[in-house]
Chain A
């Protein structure tokens, strides 16, 4: 448990360092410093503290795998116990990045298999993993691996997972959520069921693994008495009755599927401690099976359910202990009003965009300023809000700024559904929101006319602590961007889409943002040759261009539709120099080449 006093590098500690505090004392104190920002500060004090930090640092997150090399990581942190690596840009989650862009785990797995003797926990996010990588990992670290997370990864099959199931007998957590996995058979789960008795978390939610057998799930539930969380792919709920009966310690379940038009679902009995739930394809008729324990629910995932607005209201009303809700905007303003009334402990809310076709969702299913204001006034504990709205006003944002004092992550997307928005531009509302809340993360995705240059300058002025930002269709001209980039002192990662800004302004802005280490832009005013980007050319700053590509959208019963995705700019600090594993479509920007013109 961290003590607040020990998190800061105090004056006393510095004085003692001057007087030659022994390594023993430092060694006692260092392990209590967990926060990565604090550790970062500690490592900059002096050579000795740097070395001690390097020897005792337990966890490292590398936000982009190309910013350093496996060798450098090993050289500095040889005793690392836990590593998180991220590859593809976040836009990959929205199908905007080609599959072979990069982010291969192979060089990292090789290094891990040869060194990093203490490594017990691995988390790869948006990276390309091969079966051979999993085989090597299982072989080299199988016995000690406690946590393996292949998070939104791709490139591997169930054959690779078979190695994991066979050799990683100490695995507490196997996480595969949203990964693209070639599904050859269900043997990997069978092996896991046979060999593991300590599993606590198993997650293959939002994967297309369809050959898993319920017998294996039941076996895992029986053998792993500490099983707390199970999130699976589409799987008939009626076949899981045995699993639910066996998994007596289960607190979290998501996935499954309701496919039979039957009242047999009333016979499904859930584990007694279940408090985090997400049931796919759950409809109005099946919803009542949740009612008996709805008051225990802390987390509810309704993203993939088949409920209308009224159903959402009915269910949410029964969950006074809810802390985390995810739903589509079919929930509507009325759903938000019920939420605000009933769920006073709510900390996190995510409202996603439902279907665009009117007949596919409830006609009441729109979220607007009305719901947002109810939320702000009713849920005072709220820390995270990500929301897609069909309409918005300045007053709603001002209301959030006035009431949501614990809010630190706010993301607002204005949908394209309505032609006319009640109250644009949102300059004043955005200013009030930023002044009222201590945001660390901020996303604002609007449309032309949504935020003027003045509004954009407000973002720069009033975001002292924001480290990550996504801005879509904001501002009117380069002047706005330049004013914005004179502020945002903590901004490390900036993503922008649909901008009216020129290459030159983007490059100047990148140079002005003092903490910026990662920039992604799609949709901007390009120069004919791209050379205006060179304004931001400097040592250790990699600039990559992803050219536009035609994407064919295949949908059942229709001719394929071809849409063109515009170019992207990706720029980031790196100690490793330019990448060497580009696909043919990505172009590094090489300043030297311009000298030959």
Chain B
């Protein structure tokens, strides 16, 4: 996600976000930051102080209304949080993915986000907490992936979702 966003034209990104959140933001705020966002902008902004001066930390997790949810963007050395609508998040994600395939050789598959991870990212950006996985299981599943993808002259031991035809062939050879 990080690398994909960095490939987008910055002005285009700001436009997309601005069009999404301008309806929520009060008039006296900059167009692409809502009242409760914690933004650390790279260019000096107005003298508005977003961070309340309290000894107690102010949580970023905000009320999830029907229209807007928070999105955190790490971009070019800055961290920004905006309130945008789900449709706008879809646009941003699409933009990021489109941007990454346009500006990079199609052969470079490293930047493509596999569909299920995109799903997970979207879920996170929507403000939902993804189900956390137990450390031990997470490690096992990662190790298993490595075993499957490691170079080996022998066919992999594990057979998943094989067709019936393949199963029958297997049986014949084993007998």
Contact A94 B134, CB 8 Å, known A304-B140, A360-B145, A567-B61:
yes
Top 5 nearest A-B pairs by Cβ distance?
A94-B132, A526-B59, A567-B59, A566-B61, A593-B55
Interface residues of A in 57-112 (CB under 8 A from B): 91, 93-96
Count residues on chain B whose CB falls below 8 Å from chain A CBs. Answer: 52
Contact B59 A355 (CB under 8 A): no
* Cβ 8 A contact of A548, one of B59, B123, B138: B59
> A497, B124: Cβ atoms under 8 Å?
no
Specify which of B56, B114, B117, B159 is in contact with A530 (CB 8 Å cutoff).
B56
Identify the A interface with B (CB < 8 A): 91, 93-96, 178, 206, 258, 261, 280-281, 283-285, 303-304, 306, 308, 328, 352-363, 413, 415-416, 445, 497-498, 500, 522-526, 528-531, 545, 547-548, 550, 555-567, 587, 589-590, 593-594, 597
28 contacts between A and B (CB under 8 A): A94-B133, A94-B134, A94-B135, A178-B136, A280-B140, A352-B134, A355-B141, A358-B161, A359-B161, A360-B160, A362-B161, A363-B161, A413-B131, A416-B131, A498-B128, A500-B64, A529-B54, A545-B57, A545-B59, A562-B1, A562-B74, A563-B121, A563-B130, A566-B59, A566-B61, A587-B55, A590-B55, A594-B54
Whether A525 pairs with B74 at a CB distance below 8 angstroms is: no
Shortest beta-carbon distance from B49 to chain A in Å: 13
- Determine which of A178, A522, A590 lies in contact with B129 in the assembled complex, contact meaning CB atoms within 8 Å: A522
| Complex Cα–Cα for A95 and B139 (A) | 11
In the bound assembly, the distance between CA atoms of A562 and B74 in angstroms comes to 8
- Say yes or no: is B72 at the interface (Cβ < 8 Å to chain A): yes
B12 within 8 A of A: no
Give the docked Cα–Cα distance between A530 and B61 (Å): 11
Q: Is the CB of A526 within 8 A of B62?
A: yes
- By beta carbon, the residue of chain B nearest A206 is B136
Query: A306 contacts B158, CB within 8 Å?
Result: yes
Check if B144 is an interface residue, CB within 8 A of chain A: yes
Closest to B6 in A: A559
In the complex formed, the residue of A with least CB distance to B61 is: A566
A59 to B4, CA, bound (A): 56
Are A356 and B57 also in contact (CB < 8 A) when A304-B140, A362-B161 are?
Answer: no
Report how far A595 CA is from B114 CA in the complex, Å. 51
B74 pairs with A362, CB closer than 8 A: no
Can you name the residue of chain A whose Cβ is closest to the Cβ of B147?
A: A281
CA gap between A303 and B61 in the complex, in Å: 34
Given contacts A530-B54, A593-B54, 7 further A-B contacts (CB under 8 A): A93-B135, A308-B159, A445-B131, A498-B129, A559-B111, A564-B72, A565-B129
User: Which residue of B133, B135, B144 contacts A353 across the interface (Cβ within 8 Å)?
Assistant: B133
* A523-B154 Cα distance, complex, nearest whole Å: 47
Q: How far is the CA of A415 from the CA of B123 in the complex (A)?
A: 13
Are B129 and A360 in contact, CB atoms less than 8 angstroms apart? Answer: no
Q: In the complex, what distance in Å separates the CA atom of A563 from the CA atom of B2?
A: 10
Any A CB within 8 A of the CB of B77? no
- Let me know if A308 and B140 touch, CB within 8 A: no
Instruction: Contact check, B129 vs A523: say whether CB atoms are below 8 A apart.
Output: yes
Q: Please state if A547 and B59 are interface contacts (CB–CB under 8 Å).
A: yes
- Beta-carbon contact of B145 and A96 below 8 Å: no
When chains A and B are docked, how far (Å) is the Cα of A35 from the Cα of B113? 54
CB-nearest residue of chain B to A180: B135
Determine whether the beta carbon of A561 is less than 8 Å from that of B117. yes
Q: Which residue from chain B places its CB closest to the CB of A567 in the assembled complex?
A: B59
B117 in contact with A359 (CB, 8 Å):
no
